Structure 1
Amino acid sequence: MFHPWRLLREMPQITVIWTELNHKSALTDGVSQIWLDRRLFQVERRCSLTHELIHIERGHTSRQSAAIEEAVRAETARRLIPFDELLRHKRWALSIEELADSLWVTTSVLKDRINHLDKKQSRLFAKAYCDTGAD
């Protein structure tokens, strides 16, 4: 399982600032600071921190295009949800919410993961039972 907090510990140059953000769960300057909304639940913190760490890894220091943001979301989902875990949990989950909860991610991150499966993964995922309702 990917642990963004463990990765953060290996990056002493990064400071996390807990604050209240409007219309965002997290932000980064792409260099040394990540702002996380203090009202987030732990699973939201995990997903948001991973997303912002990827922006830092990629050197994104300003607002990004929709395409780059989509790529960061896809990578966030891949890191947080290994494909074998996605299949294993899908076999018993009864809903997309239950599947997300069991994988310790938000439903948004789960949908990003499903929407970015390659063709082979998509076929295997479709064979596992559970109606996730993902588009």
Structure 2
Amino acid sequence: MHSNVGGFDPWGSLRSLEHVRLSWVDMPDGARGRTNGTDLIWLNRGQQQVERRCALTHELVHLERRDIGCQPATVEAIVNAETARRLIHLDHLAKALAWARAFHELADELWVTPDVLQDRIDHLTEDEWDILLSVELQQP
């Protein structure tokens, strides 16, 4: 069981958006997902479950922002940070950090891709860092 069970559910969010249709496609460029910004999300076939979960969350954030077409790197960075924040709760990260011995092991426990985990770490606030460091210091 992953420590993130009970956290953000992108599939539940998608179901609540009755006007949005999900389409499974073979992306010629290998992208994990895309959206038209209004009512359609495309996800690339052949992804593992964790990749689908992360890609769908990413596209839902774009959809909420009403992003249409390719976005500049600054927008993608904002969307990546929000995706990671939604998928990785700080308390789950703190608990998993207490025992995980490798980055990929930590990503697996949090049920995200390593890229999403890196985005979460890269965008931790000072307060979040303080919380994580205090948990680390309390470990025997």
* TM-score, normalized by the shorter chain, greater than 0.5: yes
Q: TM-score, with normalisation over the residues of structure 1?
A: 0.91
Percent same amino acid at aligned positions? Answer: 44
> Cα deviation per residue 1:6-46 (whole Å; 9 max; x = unaligned)?
00000011111111112311111111111111110000000
User: What residue in structure 2 maps to residue 87 of structure 1?
Assistant: 94
Unaligned runs of 5+ in 1: 130-135
Instruction: State the distance in 1 between where 2:118 and 2:131 align.
Output: 16
Greater Cα shift, 115-124 or 23-32: 115-124
Residue 75, structure 1, aligned to residue 82, structure 2: yes
Q: Helix, strand or coil for the counterpart of 1:35?
A: strand
- 3-state SS, counterpart of residue 45 of structure 1: helix
Structure 1 equivalent of residue 10 of structure 2: 4
* Superposed CA RMSD: 1.3
Partner of 1:13: 19
What is the number of residues matched between the two proteins?
129
**AA at the equivalent of 2:101:** L
Shift of 1:81: 0.3
Runs of at least 5 residues in structure 2 that lack an aligned partner in the other structure: 1-6
Of 34, 54, 57, the residue aligned with 1:47 is: 54
1:65 to 58, 67, 72: 72
| TM-score, reference length from structure 2 | 0.87
Whole-Å Cα distance in 2 between the matches of residues 123 and 23 of structure 1? 38
Superposition deviation, residue 62 in structure 1: 2.2
Using the TM superposition, give the Cα deviation of residue 65 of structure 1 relative to its aligned residue in structure 2, in angstroms: 1.3
Which fold has the larger relative contact order, with Cα–Cα distance below 8 Å and residues 6 or more apart in sequence? 2
